Structure 1
Amino acid sequence: MKRTFQSLLTLSLGSSLLLAACSDDSNDSTEETATTTAEDTSWNDIQEAGILRAATSGTYFPNSYHEEGTNVLTGFEVEILREIGERLDVEVEFTEMNVDGMLTSLNSEQIDIAALSISHAGENADKFNYSEPYKYTYMSMIVREEDNSGIETMEDLEGKRAAGAATTSYMKIAEQFGAELVIYDNATNDQYLQDVANGRTDLIINDYYGQTMALTAFPEIPIKIQENLFFNPSYTNFSMKLGKDALTEEVDKALEEMHSDGTLSALSEEFYQGEDVSVEVDMDIPTYEIEE
Structure 2
Amino acid sequence: MNAYIFPGQGAQFSGMGLDLYENSPLAQELFEKANSILGFTITDIMFEGSAEDLKETKVTQPAIFLHSVILAKTIGASFKPDMVAGHSLGEFSALVANGALTFEDGLKLVSQRALAMQKACELQPSTMAAVLGLDDDIVEKVCATTPGVVVAANYNCPGQLVISGEIEAINKACETLKEEGARRALVLPVGGAFHSPLMEPAREELAAAIENTTFSKPNCPIYQNVTASAVIDESAIKANLISQLTAPVKWTQSVQQMVADGATLFTEVGPGKVLQGLVKKINRASETASATFEANS
TM range (shorter): under 0.3
Q: Which has the larger radius of gyration?
A: 1
TM normalised by structure 2 equals: 0.27
TM normalised by structure 1 equals: 0.28
